[in-house]
Amino acid sequence: LTTRLTGVFDRLKRRGALSESDVAEAMREIRIALLEADVALPVVKDFVAKVRERAVGQEVIKSITPGQMVVKIVHDELVAILGSESSELRLGSPPAVVLMAGLQGSGKTTTSAKLARRLRSRERRKVLLASLDTQRPAAQTQLEVLARQSEVASLPIIPGQGALDITRRALDTARREGYDVLILDTAGRLSIDDALMEELAAVRDLARPSETLLVADALTGQDAVNTARIFHERIGITGIVLTRMDGDARGGAALSMRHVTGQPIKLVGTGEKLDALEPFHPERIASRILDMGDVVSLVEKAAEVVDRDEAEKLAKKLAKGSFDLSDLRTQLQQMRKMGGMKGILGKLPGIQKVQKQLEEANIDEKLLVRQCAIIDSMTPAERRNADLINASRKRRIAAGSGTTVQDVNRLLKQHRQMQDMMKRMKKMGGLQNLFGRGL
């Protein structure tokens, strides 16, 4: 997905304007890319249609490139489908029941314990865990062990009891002992079968859960869609937990399941450890599906603060390779406005290497201010040609700016590094393309 989409956008970035055929071409590629990312076909069709509609209907903002515009539209649409905000659990009056459902191995038992731990430690809720898994030997013991690790109570195991009997006992215990939340971990099968669904439906009718969470492995791709649809049809889920997002799943399953069930993704599992459970952030998953770093927010921020005339001049100079100290000063000021070098670079995809170099060079806010002062103390000729700056000039500049000769040397070194970096960025289609005609 990444390479493909990046390829599409790279091509768009180089165009002057976003024509209808540009959009159509991009959409064809995006369609394939989403399918490759395991988003289900009907979802892809819907998504592409919506994005095309919005892309064609919307003016391309003059100050950014057409490619950036498409990134933003695609991103916004992804976020809209995934849910416009992170979704909280809705827990009813105590004891609120949370029913965990899903296929075997999807992470139900682990997620039950993680959730219990989270509710205990973050919300100070009194939580009871109970395993209804009578299918797999030792499943109940597994939950008991995890409960202990989470410092949460678990229902004592009585061998030979069926799922419904355990449910009754768990409800009784929760009421009698004043638990806020009862989490019911259930049995899973390798694939969906009627017996499992009937048992789940019976448990649901008995326990009347305030949340029925479908636990699904983010790596299962197309299957996740069928699973989600059938579980939703048979037992009516109220939310989805996407596990194994610590793996290299692109998040395509999130888009599909959300679309197919209409239910929000509420939590995301990010590891085997019991604290590896996070609230769902649509923005993050959307970025992950697109894998465009934070281009979107960068575009928004850049549109706010970048002085366009200055930027255009700078772009011409960059193109010519004549990046002098005055240009550096302009650049430094714009960077200060945008939250510093790190702030910008952190938002660009694939730029870690350059960022690391800059960190080594120790660019920070205070340094930016001082560097501007040093450049202010130079003569126009010096700013144009750094080679003029010999030892005595350095002493004069240092005195004039209240810095030391070492500071001046560091700045000059910085300037050389910046020139190098600009060249590299140009090769990568980096800053210049990102800011488009703006920079």
Q: Which residues are annotated as a binding site for GTP?
A: 102-109, 185-189, 243-246
205 binds, among ligand GDP, Mg ion, none (CB under 5 to 8 A by kind): none
The owner of tokens 């395509």 is: 252
* Residue 297 falls in which region: left (phi positive, over 0), alpha (psi -120 to 50) or beta: alpha
* Residue 378 falls in which region: left (phi positive, over 0), alpha (psi -120 to 50) or beta: beta
Using CB under 6 A as the binding rule, whether residue 271 contacts ligand GDP is answered as yes
Contact segment (CB under 6 A) with ligand GDP among 99-107, 121-129, 350-358, 386-394 equals 99-107
CB of 204 to ligand GDP, least distance (A): 17
Distance CA 220, CA 38 (A): 9
Three-class secondary structure of residue 401 per DSSP: helix
Using CB under 6 A as the binding rule, whether residue 287 contacts ligand GDP is answered as no
150 binds, among ligand GDP, Mg ion, none (CB under 5 to 8 A by kind): none
6 binds, among ligand GDP, Mg ion, none (CB under 5 to 8 A by kind): none
Are 141 and 129 in contact by the 8 Å Cβ rule? The answer is no
- Contact residue for ligand GDP among 67, 107, 349, 436 (CB under 6 A): 107
Q: Site for ligand GDP (CB under 6 A): how many residues?
A: 17
Binding site per annotation, positions:
102-109, 185-189, 243-246
134 binds, among ligand GDP, Mg ion, none (CB under 5 to 8 A by kind): none
**Of 48 and 143, which CB lies nearer to Mg ion in the complex structure?**
143
Three-class secondary structure of residue 7 per DSSP: helix
Residues that bind Mg ion (CB under 5 A): 108-109
Three-class secondary structure of residue 335 per DSSP: helix
Q: According to CB under 6 A, which residues from 239 to 268 bind ligand GDP? A: 243-244, 246
**Of 16 and 137, which CB lies nearer to Mg ion in the complex structure?**
137
- Contact residue for ligand GDP among 6, 65, 68, 110 (CB under 6 A): 110
Task: Return the bridge partners of 269, or none.
Answer: 277
CB of 386 to ligand GDP, least distance (A): 52
Q: What string of DSSP letters covers 51-74?
A: HHHHHHHSPPPTTS-HHHHHHHHH
CB of 100 to ligand GDP, least distance (A): 8
Distance CA 364, CA 15 (A): 35
CB of 242 to ligand GDP, least distance (A): 8
Query: Environment class of residue 406 by beta-carbon count within 10 Å: exposed (0-12), middle (13-18) or buried (19+)?
Result: exposed
- The beta-carbon contacts of 372-380 under 8 Å, at least 24 apart in sequence, are 372/329, 372/332, 372/333, 373/401, 373/402, 373/403, 374/398, 374/401, 374/403, 374/407, 374/408, 374/411, 375/325, 375/326, 375/328, 375/329, 375/332, 375/411, 376/329, 376/401, 377/401, 378/325, 380/326
Distance CA 317, CA 324 (A): 9
Residue nearest to Mg ion (CB): 109
What does the per-residue mask of binding to ligand GDP show for 215-244, with x meaning CB under 6 A? ----------------------------xx
**Of 108 and 383, which CB lies nearer to ligand GDP in the complex structure?**
108
- For residue 304, CA distances in Å to 69, 283, 293, 299, 435 come to 15, 20, 19, 9, 12
- Contact residue for ligand GDP among 7, 42, 92, 105 (CB under 6 A): 105
Which letter does DSSP use for residue 84 in this model? Answer: S
Which amino acid, residue 434? L
271 binds, among ligand GDP, Mg ion, none (CB under 5 to 8 A by kind): ligand GDP
Distance CA 333, CA 328 (A): 9
343 binds, among Mg ion, ligand GDP, none (CB under 5 to 8 A by kind): none
110 binds, among ligand GDP, Mg ion, none (CB under 5 to 8 A by kind): ligand GDP
- Contact residue for ligand GDP among 95, 209, 239, 269 (CB under 6 A): 269
CB of 183 to ligand GDP, least distance (A): 12
How many CA atoms are closer than 13 Å to the CA of 22, on its beta-carbon side? Answer: 21
- Contact residue for ligand GDP among 167, 227, 238, 270 (CB under 6 A): 270
Using CB under 6 A as the binding rule, whether residue 106 contacts ligand GDP is answered as yes
Are 69 and 56 in contact by the 8 Å Cβ rule? The answer is no
The owner of tokens 């989470």 is: 150
178 binds, among Mg ion, ligand GDP, none (CB under 5 to 8 A by kind): none
Residues near ligand GDP (CB under 6 A) are 102, 104-110, 188, 243-244, 246, 269-272, 276
